[in-house]
Amino acid sequence: MDDKTRPAELYEPPLVTLPTAIPAPVRAQPRKRLFRPTPIRPIFDAWLLRRRSPARRGLQLQWLICLAGSTVVVLLGVDFGRQFVIPGPWFKAPEPFVESMVHWDGGYFFRIAESGYTHTPGQPSRVHFFPLYPLIGSLVSKVTGWSVQLALVVVSHLFFAAALFLLGQYMDRRYGAEQHAERSAALLALSFVPAGMFFHMAYTESLFLLLCIVELYLIDCRVHPLFVALVAGLAIATRAVGVGLLAPLLLYLARYARRPKAFLGWCCLCLPLALSGVIVYGLYCQWAFGDAFATLRDRATLWAMRPLPALPEKVLALATLQPVWEIFVPSSSAYWRIFTSTAQIPFSLYVANPLYFVGALAAVVIGWWNRWLNRYEIGATLGLLFVPYWTLGHESQMVSMARYVVVIAPVYLVAGKLLAKLPPAVGGCLLGVSATLLAAYAAVFARWYWMV
């Protein structure tokens, strides 16, 4: 049956599907946020209570308390020495109180700041001392009208205060602000280490320590390498041993560059800046004395206490730590009895110099083993130990090694970790002994005894 013969009732028209209109999406209305501004008064009250907390205030002022304590101990020691200690062999005449803190190397810095450099070939002269510290002292003296001796001593104290403050900040950044005991122990160790007497005298120790901490702090903050190189340059312009701070700079450049070619490029850019201070000083020596290497010439022989050995002999002696132990061998030409008496042993840096060196090496090993020190801190410590050990260890019989050790900032990080583990009674006894020796060193120094 086709469509023509199909009945009408059976015919079903095909279904036509009309497209349905899609309704427009309803725009979501933004949810009304119930914003309630936080009142300022509770925040201010909480901040005020936090600042008024005795514990919080003590932590913030800890560096200042340590500075005041060590300064009082040193000044009392100087005053005690001026009144009760028998004058040493180099004592000439009574002198004002401040001049008692400007002996030995301080006298060179005083004369440089007052009247500039001089150079006498073949003799110890002012040109062998680097310029940054006396230059700052001279500027302070001219601005304030103080005497040059007073300006140098005040500058040393200001730099030491800044070093104490920055060391606390650096430890908070490295280990966390909650490690209060380690931070306190490190600041106390720095403040009352006996050889730290030089931080309060007209010496470069406080400025160099500050620059050492600043360099490590900048590296930890991942700043641009040029700023790290600039700080290293200032340290080298402060004292020759500052070239040891090139070690953490190079390690930082290697980490910063990540590729050998980039590392070489950064070295070509940063090393001239790091050496710029000594380069400028060399140009000055060439202009003033006709010898760009005047500050380095005859430096080893002028302060040598024995004939300079051949290079193989020197390498063997240093590798076997001969300068460390021969001071205690009676048959040695470096035996301590030749240079000091038995009564002076507790106050003799000549006997203590190798002990400070061994203590610094032990601190590096302990810090590396316990992972308390990072690569930059280990590099700085080894660099600042190797330079004086190589240049002065054998021929100068470890003279002034204690001064070179006390400016190595990472040593105090390890000391803080170790001292914090001691019982309070033991720590208090060590602090008392150290403060006593600090005062005794200051008294002996003020009376022109040999403190090197």
Residue 425 lies in a domain: yes
pLDDT at 443 over 90: yes
pLDDT at 379 over 80: yes
Ramachandran region, residue 302 (left: φ > 0; alpha: ψ -120 to 50; beta: rest): alpha
Whose tokens are 């009408």? That residue is 8
Residue 99 lies in a domain: yes
Region of poorest pLDDT, from 86-95, 140-149, 192-201: 86-95
Mean of pLDDT values over 52-69: 75
Segment 12-28, tens digit of pLDDT: 555 555 455 555 555 55
pLDDT at 133 over 50: yes
Segment 251-289, tens digit of pLDDT: 999 999 888 899 999 999 999 999 998 999 999 999 999
Mean of pLDDT values over 52-80: 84
Segment 220-238, tens digit of pLDDT: 999 999 999 999 999 999 9
- Whether 445 contacts 195, CB under 8 Å: no
**Amino acid 89: pLDDT:** 86
Q: How far apart are CA 418 and CA 411, in angstroms?
A: 11
**Amino acid 38: pLDDT:** 43
Name the more confident of 150 and 309: 150
Residue 214: pLDDT band with limits 50, 70, 90: very high
pTM of the model: 0.87
**Amino acid 41: pLDDT:** 56
Residue 17 lies in a domain: no
Name the more confident of 8 and 186: 186
**Amino acid 306: pLDDT:** 83
**Amino acid 92: pLDDT:** 86
Domains contained in the chain, number: 1
- Outline where 176-259 has alpha helix (H): 180-192, 205-220, 225-238, 246-257
**Amino acid 451: pLDDT:** 83
Mean of pLDDT values over 87-102: 91
Residue 34 lies in a domain: no
pLDDT at 9 over 70: no
As to burial, measured by CB atoms within 10 angstroms (0-12 exposed, 13-18 middle, 19+ buried), residue 276 is middle
pLDDT at 320 over 70: yes
Residue 123: pLDDT band with limits 50, 70, 90: confident
Q: What are phi and psi of 122, to 5 degrees?
A: 85, 0
**Amino acid 35: pLDDT:** 37
Mean pLDDT of the chain: 87
Name the more confident of 220 and 50: 220
**Amino acid 45: pLDDT:** 57
Residue 15 lies in a domain: no
Region of poorest pLDDT, from 269-278, 342-351, 356-365, 412-421: 342-351
**Amino acid 209: pLDDT:** 98
The percentage of residues in the chain with a pLDDT greater than 90, rounded to a whole number, is 68
- Exposure string for 314-339, b = 16+ CB within 10 A, e = fewer: beebbeeebbbebbeeeeeebebeeb
Segment 279-299, tens digit of pLDDT: 999 999 999 999 888 888 877
Residue 290 lies in a domain: yes
Residue 60: pLDDT band with limits 50, 70, 90: confident
Residue 333 lies in a domain: yes
**Amino acid 36: pLDDT:** 46
Residue 314 lies in a domain: yes
- The whole domain housing 212 covers 71-446
**Amino acid 120: pLDDT:** 84
Name the more confident of 199 and 32: 199
Q: How far apart are CA 289 and CA 266, in angstroms?
A: 34
Structure tokens that stand for 287 in this block: 């202009």
